[in-house]
């Protein structure tokens, strides 16, 4: 069969790819469209792809960056619903939702390349080499973009976290 293993890959990787796509786009609908585009391209290339996960991340990142380039302004970003990523290891779903909102708000402050590097390195858990391959750049570029992104996030996250606190939690 032509797509031997494709269905299993889709079943096993959909949640991770959707989460990465959401973090790259900031919009659930755009993320779903992006993942669908990735699967279409992957299906066509499936017989020649040696590492489907690496290929999927590379296509995901390139497609997301192409969307950023073609838009004159960022699309309205919507919060990801609680039903998407249930926090199995947390007792408090509200805390998980709050943390997600803070992370997404912080990611919005980064440039497209910085956002892609952070998502691929820390949310998709790719190595520097795999991130460079997915982005079509050198490992040095990944390192420098990561350093700049983390420096920016260090300045933004404390301020964002404070603005997302409820009045009761601030006192």
Per-residue pLDDT of the chain (171 residues), as tens digits, is: 456 889 999 999 999 999 999 988 888 888 999 999 999 999 999 999 999 999 999 999 888 887 765 554 444 555 555 555 554 554 566 777 777 788 888 888 899 899 999 989 988 888 999 999 888 899 999 999 999 999 999 888 876 555 544 444 433
Residue with tokens 């296509």: 59
Query: Does the pTM exceed 0.75?
Result: no
Domains (range + CATH), the chain: 1-75+89-164 (1.20.140.160)
pLDDT on residue 45: 92
CA angle 5, 6, 10 (to 5 degrees): 120
How far apart are alpha carbons 143 and 148 in whole angstroms?
9
pLDDT on residue 1: 46
């Amino acid at each position: 069969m032509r797509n031997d293993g494709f269905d299993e890959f889709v079943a096993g990787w959909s949640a991770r790819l959707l989460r990465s796509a959401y973090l790259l786009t900031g919009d659930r609908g755009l993320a779903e469209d992006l993942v669908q585009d990735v699967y279409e391209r992957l299906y066509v290339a499936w017989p020649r792809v040696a590492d489907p996960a690496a290929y999927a991340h590379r296509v995901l990142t390139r497609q997301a960056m192409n969307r950023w380039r073609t838009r004159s302004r960022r699309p309205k970003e919507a919060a990801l619903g609680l039903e998407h990523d249930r926090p199995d290891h947390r007792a408090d779903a509200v805390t998980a939702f709050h943390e997600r909102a803070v992370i997404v708000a912080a990611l919005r402050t980064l440039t497209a390349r910085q956002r892609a590097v952070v998502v691929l390195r820390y949310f998709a858990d790719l190595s520097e080499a795999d991130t460079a391959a997915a982005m079509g750049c050198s490992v040095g570029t990944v390192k420098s973009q990561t350093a700049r992104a983390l420096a920016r996030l260090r300045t933004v996250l404390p301020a964002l976290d404070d603005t997302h606190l409820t009045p009761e939690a601030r006192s």
